[in-house]
Structure formats: structure tokens, C-alpha cells
Amino acid sequence: MTKKNLKRAVIISLIVGSVLNLINSYDVLWERNFTLKNTLRIILTFIPPFCVSLYSSTQASKKHKVE
């Protein structure tokens, strides 16, 4: 895992997480109904894209170094 991989994962998670939040929580965002449950759901939506991006870029970097 490198700094470049982390930076890429953060950027990807911000983009994909924002799109997912617009799809899944548009009513909360539109009505500004930020309860603790809704806010937690919005924040947690950014974690899966971050993990997937970080994992895949780390694996690609490892594979590229081996070959």
C-alpha cells in the first residue's frame, strides 16, 4: 500500500460514495432530515468504495511488481 494508492482510493470513494448517496439518500439530502441514523448511513456509504478501490489498486501494484 502506497501513498498513491491511498490518494486514489480517497478520490474514488468521494466520487462513488457521492453518487451512491444521491441514489440512496436523496430524500434525506433534499429534505435536510439529518438524524443520527441518516447521517451515519451517509458516512458509511463512502467506506465500501474506499475499501474496494484500495484493495484493487494494492493488488494491481503487487501484480505489476512481480511480473
Local confidence pLDDT in tens for the 67 residues of the chain: 789 999 999 999 999 999 999 999 989 889 988 899 999 999 999 999 999 999 999 998 887 775 5
pLDDT at 20 (0 to 100): 95
Cα gap 34→36, rounded to integer Å: 7
State the total domains in the chain: 1
pLDDT at 10 (0 to 100): 95
Q: Provide the 10 A C-beta neighbour count for residue 56.
A: 14
pLDDT at 67 (0 to 100): 53
pLDDT at 42 (0 to 100): 92
Cα gap 3→9, rounded to integer Å: 10
Range of the domain at 53: 3-66
- In this structure, which amino acid lies at residue 4? K
**Joined grid coordinates for residue 16:** 462513488
